Structure 1
Amino acid sequence: MRLIRHGDIGSERPGVILADGKLIDVSAEFPSFDEVFFANGGIDLLRSWIVAGCHNSTVIDDGARLAAPIDRPSKIICVGKNYADHAKEFGGGVPDEPVLFMKASSAYCGPNDDVILPLDCDKLDYEVELAVVIGKACRRVAENEAISHIAGYTIICDYSERAWQNEHSGQWVKGKSSDTFAPLGPCMVTTDELTDTGDLSLWSKVNGESRQNGRSSDMIFSVPFLVSYISRFMTLLPGDVIATGTPGGVGMGYNPPQYLSAGDQVEQGIEGIGSMCQCVSMDD
């Protein structure tokens, strides 16, 4: 299944993309795709409801705004330097263990929403990443059991202000957490539909120009390992999002660096999930 959320900011409602491509609103039966939904077997209930004929559903209008497919994740956990080519362009070697940092949940937004360029920001960068959505709570889960705790997968663009991240007492959370720095979408694909994420293509473009082209097979640490590893240090709750790292080709890695400016169009895509696009706009 492909889960979406749609509607104006502040009044988003859950929906699904059916096999024929039709988008339907499911809010009459399932109020939200949030922690409660996932924790109470919502995916199985939703699947059964669809098989039974989608009673009380309505078709979503063409052109409706898509929101992030997950409602209010308690955590967005990110993995740094998880592709060797990106670790190299970042100026470091391959890490012995995953590099973890958090991204504020207030940073997440819809897949095609504008990304806001803060007034004192001049090194805005992009990172396309495969995002894992947790379906069942887990703590110290074994690597060979990790997949059973995943609800599905989506795309996240880990926007980063490199000066805030690396300069002036820079800190990764500070450089990664500005509002709109975590567009998510366009949908969440459940694990029964996207059964293997071991070798997916992922890419990004800026103003139509190819910037990143990688494969998830180039990850240093695999998805099951990351879920197991992170659960050693914190309880992962249903709806939590794990951003699994980005391949080489980010703006910082060019000589000279190719940072983003107001008006730029930034696209990202992952095989088996879809694509999304944001316009960079100035802060008011």
Structure 2
Amino acid sequence: LWILVLLTMFFLLRSGRVRRNNRKLIYLGVVILFGVILGSEPGPMGTIKDSIVLFGEYKTLFLPRLISLLIMLLLVVLANKFICSWGCQFGTLQDLIFRLNEDNKGKPVFKRFKVPFAVSNSIRVIFFIIFTVIALNWAFDIISPINPFKIFSPALFGIVGIVFVAFILVLSLFVYRPWCHFFCPFGLIGWLFEKISIFKIKVNYDKCIACGLCEKSCPSNAMKAILRGKKIIPDCFSCGSCIESCPTKAITFSAGIRKSPPKGKFDKLDNR
């Protein structure tokens, strides 16, 4: 069922059929199906988190979790962070809440903030290092008390977890996927594997009119970097907002190597 949903979303995104009017319903469906009904598994974060914690405790690799992690990473290699965008229960919940903060035309009701990638990724790297060092040396999982996936099994939550996750969900109205950008271990590792993804967001510069609508519609800083052919690109969750916003259909979710833009292509856009 999980694979069926991912395949469906893959073909919808490939054909450019993910739109504002159906995106919220899709996110809601994923949250209900894989979160409320089926619980927190399968989930990308648990694969790497548990692998590290179990190795710290037993000094051995837990094969089922390791295999699950490899499958998740293969999905990232196949289709960018597609697994995070459409197959992660808590990721889709954050995305759904973020999209609720917009009117019928897609404009934010309350001001949104795009945190600089250097800031968000630095926090995520530091958090991952602290988590890993503690897990490997003392076999303690610092994520467990605040694990946001426990929202689908609230009986497992303590007061600290409830307060923390409530904060993350409220923050999701204003910042795109804060857990994914600031704390998620799989988010960090997945970002590294994005660099070799087969299918990804690509720009046809022959069709691009440098209007900047894709950059504006992107909920993070990813499209700004992709558009300009930057080497370091923030997390792209393959949400399809950029594809929907492009008036010339210059943006696609397709296979191949990203090309660099012609020199000076976005000078006017950058000088606005």
TM range (shorter): under 0.3
Higher strand proportion (structure 1 or 2) = 1
Higher helix proportion (structure 1 or 2) = 2
Q: Give TM-score scaled by structure 1 length.
A: 0.23
Q: Give TM-score scaled by structure 2 length.
A: 0.24
